[in-house]
Amino acid sequence: MKTHRLYLSLFTVLVLASPAARAEDSHYFGRWTVSDDKPAYSAKGKLYKTFDVAPCGKDFCGISVSDKGDCGETLFRFLTIHENNDELTGHGRWGAMKKKLTVGMAKPDGAPSYMFLGLGDDNMDITGREGSIPTFEANYKRVSDAVCKTS
């Protein structure tokens, strides 16, 4: 009976710890900054110029980073089970409202991976083939580990 409890306890610890362990390996985690040649920012878009993606509670979040490196507001949040998907769709902050958010990873042959992000109406299509075009879109390069954290 004690052996059964020991195995059950060990199993519980492993199951509860596995998302945190997996999260450390996510290709989304780190500090990301716009890599486009001539980026243009509105007041709302400036929050997306540089952001950190890091664990936040049981999820992972995108946290705005100011030009001075100060941590700002949480822009988006995704469940940890999606941390290694190549494309994520949810909602992100856009001023006082939320807009449809698409975040994805591109891994071109022979070139560094990069992240792309788009915000727009609910019928937004990041590829521009159907639906509306994004209100904001940019490509990002990873510049360092994430520093900003939230709970």
Residue 151 lies in a domain: no
Q: What is the pLDDT of residues 48-64, one digit of tens each?
A: 999 999 999 889 999 99
Domain count of the fold of the chain:
1
Q: Are 116 and 125 in contact (CB under 8 A)?
A: no
Is residue 132 predicted with pLDDT exceeding 90? Answer: no
Per-residue CA distances from 146 to 10, 11, 41, 61, 94 (Å): 31, 30, 22, 11, 22
Residue 136 lies in a domain: yes
Distance CA 124, CA 58 (A): 28
Residues 89-101: what's their mean pLDDT? Answer: 94
Instruction: Point out which residues pair with 102 in neighbouring strands.
Output: 89, 118
User: Which residues have CB under 8 Å from 60's CB, separation 6+?
Assistant: 23, 26, 28, 29, 53, 54, 77, 78, 80, 83
Q: What is the pTM of this model?
A: 0.78
- The enclosing H or E element of 32 equals strand 30-34
Query: Given this model, what pLDDT does residue 24 score?
Result: 54
Domain that holds residue 126: 2-144
Residue 85 lies in a domain: yes
Residue 34 lies in a domain: yes
Residue 150 lies in a domain: no
Is residue 19 predicted with pLDDT exceeding 70? Answer: no
* DSSP classification of residue 124: B
For 45, list phi and psi in degrees, rounded to 5.
-70, -25
Q: Are 99 and 91 in contact (CB under 8 A)?
A: yes
Residue 140 lies in a domain: yes
Q: In which residue are the tokens 């070139």 written?
A: 111
Distance CA 129, CA 40 (A): 23
